[in-house]
Homo-oligomer: A and B are copies of this chain.
């Protein structure tokens, strides 16, 4: 049995030892039978367990299943509910239990993720395909939460900045990759679910990607930072939400880029700036690159495209083409519900003669795809 991470045994010892030395664990633990969850077996089947004497139903939804699908756990004699799934492909997943219908993270799993306002437990089925986003024994870049002034939005705002291994000790200048999250997410998303810093560490160490700075902004123009609404933001409605249209993209170009280029050792010029975004962030990428065609040389649109009714773009895409770009890369899952928008973008690129690479993957609108797209896109930058 290859038991994975899941430090229950380790923890018991630490708590046992540290109780005598003053343990600092304040959140209440649960009593009950001892077991680990999840446990990945040699054949990559995965067993999930949770203890409840009185629950009527216990179910699980995992990112390897369909949206909203659940699978029931079965109750054992010891009141431990369990289910075994798979074998699963070697990759990263997230899942939730539903205890009598209430969504819960796995109490035995110390690894959780936040996606917008929701939490899920993380599962890695380790193998070749998971190595790219694991914390490996390679040089690691620095990941910083940085606050900057955005005059365009009249806000002080937070973003994440990844500087590559060696940044602090070198005098070199680096190119910058601006990486945008999707709707419902925020500036945490690309490092929490997206594992961007570890993907970059691994790509750089393998010689596949060049050392670069990655800037991960908050694309919600009504927020100062994750989950924090600006003090004077209105209660959002469909109508006034639309008033924010284009504002984030403006702040990215007018506020974020000047701040980054003043604060970090950055190579100047369009050919040293890349931008990519997923879903809503793909929309932001389309807008930022058509409204400001001279800013970004490398462009990636992940699981997005041109929304229906967004007209008058042909002239802007033509201007983008004429301004000269290094790369236009488009990725979408074949089952993604944005496929029509994606196709409108591909048509527009054809129509305006913008050379582009198109990657159609399996699957839908998922972080599994976005991590993959990042790992494919980043090695193409600044070369």
Contacts and interface: CB of A to CB of B under 8 A. Distances in A.
A285 to B, nearest CB: 12
Q: Which of A18, A61, A110 has the most CB of B within 10 A?
A: A18
A311 interface: no
Given A28-B103, A96-B27, A116-B11, A21 B147 contact: no
Given A14-B184, A144-B142, A184-B14, A110 B116 contact: yes
Contact of A184 (B24, B32, B63, B338): B24
Interface string A225-245: 101110100011110011000
Interface in A151-169: 156, 158, 168-169
A13 B183 contact: no
Contact of A231 (B8, B32, B137, B185): B137
Interface stretch (A208-216, A274-282, A320-328, A348-356): A274-282
A104 interface: yes
A280 B22 contact: yes
A135 B230 CA distance: 11
Interface residues of A, number: 110
Given A25-B118, A103-B30, A237 B13 contact: yes
Nearest to A231: B137
B107 A14 contact: no
Interface in A321-354: 337-338, 341
